[in-house]
Amino acid sequence: MIYIDIMKTKKFCPNCGSTNIKWVIPQNWSMWRCYDCGYYGAVVIEDGEMACEIRKDYLKKHEEKENEK
């Protein structure tokens, strides 16, 4: 139950699903930066289930790129 509650209140990166996302400048409340993928923008995800799907897709694409090298 605790895990589910945390997943409902966290902010997630819309690009990679990471929780390593922070406000860039508190005075500019709408700008966020992800320190995992470099995303910079106004949109964040608050749905943990959606973030899990985004994270799975991101990691799969990242792994495919690594295998191409």
Average pLDDT over residues 27-56: 92
pLDDT at 1: 44
Among residues 3, 4, 31, 35, the alpha carbon closest in space to that of 19 is found at 35
Biggest CA–CA distance in the chain, Å, is 42
The whole-angstrom separation of Cα 17 and Cα 45 is 8
CA distances in angstroms from 24 to 20, 21, 32, 67, listed in the order given: 12, 9, 5, 33
The pLDDT assigned to 5 comes to 53
Domain ranges of the chain: 2-68
- pTM of the complete model: 0.78
